[in-house]
């Protein structure tokens, strides 16, 4: 029996397994930062109930059955021994409460995306196919206000007003990526980090950049959005690798 079938009767099991796999692979790619980053996925119609990682558990150890089930409208969520990390609660809670189109949210301080967020000009020009994917599809937050407690979390969430823009380059901080599913959001986060790395490495050469025209960049981004099931297959392949290795992520 596959490890993904060990607890089929637990609520929201498929979302739990997908999210746990995303945590494990994010750690493997070294996109995480110690125990201070967070992923969440909504499980009810209005998006206010969501799964999220436990307080300060390393991504490499996260298991599907141990993910927290939280309610963004619950004033008692921060009470008790199993309370989530405060910054995770306020950032993701505000996002799921204020942005119903953000079904899944992944926040990381990955190296190259954070370097981009640290530049005075944090725009990502379309210099290759990966960077073109994000043409006119991100928002830059240039108002960093410290750790994402209540006011900061709500301020950040309110920047996702355009449903077309699903990446927030959080100035002086990192990135927040949103999507409809775990697979879509993880795939977007993966490619944004790759795109940021390409751009940062290109800047390091000191040579002029070969920037695509707006027309070709938009065409490329639209074509990738319509490319069938790449995100689903990406996550499915990663889960199969984890299963083959005997990982306990889906337990």
**pLDDT of 4 above 80:** no
Range of the domain at 26: 3-244
- Give this prediction's pTM: 0.93
- 95, 141 Cβ separation under 8 angstroms: no
Mean pLDDT calculated for residue range 225-238: 93
Q: Render pLDDT for 47-65 as a digit per residue (tens, 0 to 9).
A: 999 999 999 999 999 999 9
Angle between helices 182-205 and 230-244 (to 10 degrees): 100
- Determine the Cα–Cα distance for residues 221 and 190; give it in Å rounded to an integer: 15
Residues 6 or more apart in contact with residue 47 via CB below 8 angstroms: 72, 96, 99, 100, 102, 103
Token pair for 165: 């823009």
Into how many domains does the chain fold?
1
- CB atoms near residue 51 (< 10 Å): 23
pLDDT band of 149, cuts 50, 70, 90: low
- CB atoms near residue 133 (< 10 Å): 23
Residue with the two structure tokens 């944090």: 122
Q: What is the mean pLDDT of the chain?
A: 93
Q: Residue 34 is inside which H or E element, if any?
A: none
- Determine the Cα–Cα distance for residues 185 and 167; give it in Å rounded to an integer: 10
Distance of CA 154 to the CA centre of its chain: 17
What end-to-end distance do the CA atoms of the chain give, in Å?
12
pLDDT band of 212, cuts 50, 70, 90: very high
pLDDT band of 150, cuts 50, 70, 90: low
Helix ranges (DSSP H) in the chain: 13-28, 86-98, 111-118, 129-132, 150-157, 182-205, 214-225, 230-244
DSSP state of 38: E
Residue with the two structure tokens 């300060």: 56
Residue 39 falls within a domain, yes or no? Answer: yes
Residue 251 falls within a domain, yes or no? Answer: no
Beta bridge partners of 41: 51, 104
Q: What is the CATH number of the domain that holds 58?
A: 3.40.225.10
Residue 82 falls within a domain, yes or no? Answer: yes
Q: Residue 211 is inside which H or E element, if any?
A: none
Mean pLDDT calculated for residue range 73-81: 84
Q: So what's the pLDDT on residue 146?
A: 72
Residue 249 falls within a domain, yes or no? Answer: no
- Determine the Cα–Cα distance for residues 139 and 194; give it in Å rounded to an integer: 18
Token pair for 231: 């995100």
User: Hey, which bits of 31-157 come out as E strands?
Assistant: 38-42, 49-52, 68-71, 104-108, 138-141
């Amino acid at each position: 029996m596959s490890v993904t079938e060990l607890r089929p009767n637990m609520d929201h099991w498929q979302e739990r397994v997908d999210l746990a796999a995303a945590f494990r692979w994010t750690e493997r790619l070294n996109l995480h930062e110690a125990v201070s980053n967070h992923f969440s996925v909504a499980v009810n119609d209005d998006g206010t109930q969501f799964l999220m990682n436990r307080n300060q558990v390393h991504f490499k150890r996260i298991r599907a059955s141990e993910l927290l089930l939280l309610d963004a409208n619950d004033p008692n969520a921060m009470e008790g021994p199993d309370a989530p990390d405060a910054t995770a609660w306020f950032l993701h809670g505000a996002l799921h409460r204020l942005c119903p189109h953000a079904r899944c949210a992944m926040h990381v301080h990955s190296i190259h995306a954070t370097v981009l967020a640290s530049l005075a000009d944090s725009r990502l020009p379309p210099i290759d196919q990966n960077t073109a994917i994000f043409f006119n599809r991100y928002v830059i937050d240039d108002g960093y206000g410290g750790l994402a407690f209540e006011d900061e979390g709500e301020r950040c969430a309110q920047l996702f007003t355009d449903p077309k823009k699903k990446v927030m380059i959080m100035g002086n901080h990192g990135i927040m990526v949103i999507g409809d599913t775990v697979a879509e959001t993880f795939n977007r986060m993966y490619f944004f980090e790759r795109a940021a790395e390409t751009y940062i490495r290109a800047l390091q050469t000191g040579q002029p950049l070969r920037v695509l025209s707006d027309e070709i960049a938009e065409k490329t981004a639209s074509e990738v959005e319509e490319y069938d099931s790449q995100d689903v297959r990406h996550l499915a392949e990663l889960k199969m690798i984890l299963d083959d290795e005997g990982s306990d992520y889906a337990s």
